[in-house]
Amino acid sequence: MNPSVHPSSIVEDGARLGAGVSVGPFCHIGAGVALGDGATLDAHVVVGGRTRIGARVRIFPFAAVGLPSQDMKAGLAEGALTIGDDCVIREGVTINAGAEEGTRIGARCVFLASSHVAHDCRLGDDVILSNQVLLGGHVEIGDHAMIGGATAVHQNVRIGAQAFVGGLSGVEGDVIPFALASGNRAHLFGLNLVGLQRRGFAAERIERLRRAYRLLFARDDARVFSERVASLAHDFADDADVAAIVGFLRAPATRPLCAPRAR
């Protein structure tokens, strides 16, 4: 199937449109853009930079994707952006390009209205940003994480896979995988139990994660945190979920850890 482009839209020379691409009225597609098979731009969509958009991605009106970052140090240099297959980008969303490898977004992600992804972010698969979520530069989010509406995430923060951040939060610390965080400034409330149950985690699997969480943040444990992490790695050596938490905690980080609030 040949691409379908509305006569009012502009597709610059050099842009590549896959089979079955549909471009609605008043869109602008830059010369460095590649749209995967079956991608749809509804209307009034701008896509620029060195942007690669996967198959069957749908972009709703007034979204701006792949434009230069708002990083004052970078100026308005053209950057790169990669978006995986089957993503949904709703009205007014802005996703900025990044330097070098650029901003990278996995498959089946959903960006609700007016959410913002800054330069050089890394998002895994099946990530959901609710309305008006703001991600600073170099934020990393793991697979199946969900961020509640009107939440702001500080630059360089990492949010682990399967985590949930409640709405109206200000996140300035790293959130471990499988956790539930909320508040301004955000702190941990425990595990993302509802999300894990909805994704089919067995009761035994969730209980192991709960034991690991309690050991990690036990208030009566006098050991330094690195010793607790080492103990967790030893005691749950055959548990892939706990290994994911340990790996997250041992990975290089520039932000503090989001932890439970002290009583």
pLDDT per residue over 9-54, tens digit each? Answer: 999 999 999 999 999 999 999 999 999 999 999 999 999 999 999 9
**CA dihedral of 99, 104, 110, 111, whole degrees rounded to 10:** -10
CA 216 from centroid of its chain's CA atoms: 25
Residue 183 annotated to the active site = no
Domains, the chain, with CATH or none: 4-138 (2.160.10.10), 196-250 (1.20.1180)
Greatest pairwise CA separation for the chain in angstroms: 69
Q: What pLDDT score does 74 carry? A: 76
Catalytic residue among 44, 116, 119, 144: 119
pTM over the 0.85 mark: yes
Catalytic residue among 42, 71, 85, 120: 120
Residue 92 annotated to the active site = no
The list of the chain residues with pLDDT below 50 reads none
Catalytic residue among 30, 92, 137, 142: 137
The token pair at 32 is 């460095």
Contact 80, 50 (CB under 8 A): yes
Cα separation, 235 vs 208, whole angstroms: 11
Residue 120 annotated to the active site = yes
Cα separation, 141 vs 139, whole angstroms: 7
User: How many C-beta atoms lie closer than 10 Å to residue 121's C-beta?
Assistant: 24
